[in-house]
Structure 1
Amino acid sequence: CSTDLEATFTDTVTQGDCPNASIITRTWTLTDECDNTTTLVQTITVQDTTPPTFTVPENVTLECDEDSSDLTLTGDVTDEADNCSTDLEATFTDTVTQGDCPNASIITRTWTLTDECDNTTTLVQTITVDDTIPPTFTVPESITLECDEDSSDLTLTGDVTDEADNCSTDLEATFTDTVAQGDCPNASIITRVWTVTDDCGNATALIQTITVEDTTAPTFTVPADVSLDCNADISDITLTGDVVDEADNCSIGLEATFTDAITEGDCPNSSIVTRTWTLTDDCDNTTTLVQTITVQDTTAPTFTVPENITLECDQDATDITLTGDVTDEADNCSTDLEAVFTDAISEGDCPNESTITRTWTLTDECDNTTSLVQTISIIDSTAPTLVGELEEVINVVCSDIPEVPELVFEDACSTNITVEFNETSTSDGSETDYTIIRDWFVSDECGNEALYTQTVNVTVQSEIPTDDADLCITEDIDFDLFDLLLGDYDIDGVWTVTTGNATINGSIFNPSSLLDFNDDYTQDQLGDYVFTYTYEGECPGMVSVTITLNDECVVFPCGEDDVEISKAVTANFDGINEFFTITGVEECGFTYELQIFNRWGAKIYENFNYQNDWNGTSSKASIGNSDFVPTGTYYYVINIKNSGLKPFTGPIYVSTK
């Protein structure tokens, strides 16, 4: 109906995902002359997808000591601009790659400019860092050395100073020497070229001259003046002495020479020799010294006295084959000399001990005499010994403790032997194992003592291994409670009912005795019944067993005759009888409880879920070699859980050799 209508709009603005983005919801309205109105909506999305622009700095090359973070050197971004955002500022990150040497690198500088809507422009600038400047240093002054001075000793020749480089640190100068021969074998001229090289191979070289000369005469020690007997050969340097400590600051292999001038002495067999020694080095530096040799006969004979010796009191001190004889009798002029001895005896600290001072004397034909002393110590250091044998360790049960043995002792020298016996026990009167220690303290007249000990390890059998049983209450069987006791035990004890309203006849329990006259039972009669066995004697104690009464009697497919048990274990790694095995009833899925006891009743192995893997090892009593039990006969107790079978017991032979 209406004409010339004109629509109008209103805008609602919502902030977008970033400061330069928004969503405008525009509502258009058209109304006719009778106020009939139509409204429609237009959505205008404003966004910023244009990244900013800028100019990256030119690539640049720096020396290694210039600061790459200084933008006045490397250049800065210019002409930053963006279509919407203002005041933008570019940032950069550097990636450094090692150059051709330690002080050189290539810096890849990535410049980034991001507007307020995360539109980003990235440009790359490359900064090359070089090291082209060589180091500097001061070379040592030229110097003159004696030939025995070490030209490699920088404390003498001087060392490089003031090493410096624009980038490298801790630089160290090196040198090479060129040696030219001097005026004599020990003289030379050394041309030393010093070089300092930085980490990038930039090098500086300077020269030092070292002059080596030899002006020092050699030294030596002339032999001491010496007196020789009449038969000595004065040309024998081993007698007269030779020059020693020949030394020269530079020459090596020098050898002294001598000339002799002889004058007669006081008798025909005596004389005085004036020996002049001369030593010259390779550069003709010479030293001369004089030795005087007097020839005479004043030498006493020599011999070797027997070593001091210690004898036991039952040995014969007059027997030279025991005490030793003089040897190596010799004299410079006399022959066929024979030594003699005298003995002085002093008492020792006890009746069987003494000290013999034996003085040996040897005299030559000119009454030159030599006396030497040998000391013979007579001691008694041997303690009395046991006649026969003593069993040092005994393992017994408390009912088999042996009597104290009567021991006999003997001594090599003493007739009066003292024996003291002492016995101690760790027993505290309880039902626990204990040890008896028997000590014999033996001593002789010189206080030599010996201790002989016997250890008796006593096992108190108050803890008898037990098993439990599951029975059917309706079974009319006489179950012997002794079948639940394992190992060795005394059968003279008394059984009593500890838990449950049951009766027993001695050791016999019949489950059906709990039934009434109609052979019925109540639920409270099912469950556990505890029976206690009390025993006395030398090893008293008590032990309890449990029988569980059930209302269902299960017949298992595996019977007692199906069970096969090892007779022997030979743990010698030959693959035969290596392990103790229980076989024949594997299909029934039973759990085996295994206990192994030694012949004294000590438990050496126990496993409540045995997997046929015992090969003679033990971590408890009766250990043999390498944690294996000793070879012998042992006893097993096997309880096959939930089988309805009584425990199996028997012997097993174990060989671990």
Structure 2
Amino acid sequence: MLIIWIIIYSKQFHDSMKNKYFLILFALIHYVGFAQTTITKTYTGSAVSVDNTSITLSPVTFSASDFPSGCAKISSISVSINWTKTDGTCAKPKTGNAYHNETSFSLNSPLGGMTLASAGTWSGSADIDYVTTVFNNVSATPPSGTPVSGTFQPNGGSFASYINQSPVGSWSLTAGDNAWNDYLCVNSYSITIMATDDNIKPTFTAPANTTIYTNASCTYDASVTVTGDVTNEADNCSTGLQATFVDAVANGSCQGSKIIRRTWSLVDGSGNAATDQEQTITVSDTTVPTWTTAATALNSTIQCSNAAAITAAQALAPVATDNCSAVTYTKTSGSFVAGSCANTGTYTNTWVAKDVCLNTSATFTQVITIEDTTAPTWTTAATALNSTIQCSNAAAITAAQALAPVATDNCSAVTYTKTSGSFVAGSCANTGTYTNTWVAKDVCLNTSATFTQVITIQDTTAPSISTVAGSLDTTVSCASDVPAVSLTAIA
């Protein structure tokens, strides 16, 4: 953690005192972003004697579990060695000339080797007892002269390359003596590592806001393969991090639409949590209603006289369905468009269906065709104009010829066409027939059946005597006196 000691001082202090406080303030700013953990590992093996060679002592091991975060970084190292140099034995030091310049120490680590003290670091041959030499990266003075206990800077190497590196692994000490008969005796060594525990937050970038769409069943796929995933998780220590999310789903502005507020989170192996980031996923319904009524199901062709059927056809309406909601319909009733003859034509009606999100269907069209295919019919009975007339009745013949049948039509007026038949003579003079025909047509030229009139001219009247009865009677005396008689008969 960041600890900053703030020193407030009175302006009455001398300027030189201010400078001192600034130095103190600078020194009290601790390492930013971290807490410190100090771990010491000590060699527990037997004492080692070295003569004209070098020996690496058994290692000490630092593991990730030694540090609270499991992801520690070295901030300082201290190596402590308890040793002596003697012309006698390690069990009886301080005997004879020690020749200290023959001594060397080096540190072996997962981060590479480093010289702590090269041969020639110490000098002289004075007898010494066991000393404890501590090497760290704080002391400014390397060892020299006759070995004494104390804290020193490494002579020949630097701990700088170890700073901010992981301490995890095996560390060991190599002790060296480069001449015969004067033993270098190492009783023990320890390594102390001060490490910074990780409390730096990981980083990531949430996917961009996006819009997805409902399907035919009004469901949606909001998986990361569709809406985007975090791909840039990063941390100073942990690897393989994967951001997670929690969704809060709210209804959108219309049925089927949703607003998903996806909160992304990321925590590293040390429990440091990145600042949550929010992604907004808009679920939109853009699926238009579809017609379940077949495209031509409402079309019809109706006779112009069938008002009830026309009314029924106009009352029909198609049906649509939507993936998410109910639908509303808007009908546009078409005006009558006249056809080629009176009372025929079409009505074209259209509908659109909308769901609650105002998605609009394709236009449904109904065509009602009004036609006239019905021919006129005769209201005059089929034989009503037939007549049989005496050949002498010229007035009756004229009156019969003046007669005409009457027809009616379902939709319009009718026109008549008469074909007058010629006189066809009968079996005796002045007898025979006239056969007249008519057809009726409506304005659509539908033509009726033929109406036929037959006028029969006959002679069924016997002749009559025009001489007055008795007017020819006479009385004579003798047969020879009978005059010739001439009679006149009138037919």
Q: TM-score band, normalised by the shorter chain?
A: 0.3 to 0.5
Q: TM-score, normalization: structure 2?
A: 0.32
- The answer to which structure, 1 or 2, has the higher relative contact order (CA under 8 A, 6+ apart) is 2
Over alpha carbons, which structure has the higher Rg? 2
**Which structure has greater strand proportion?**
1
Q: TM-score, normalization: structure 1?
A: 0.25
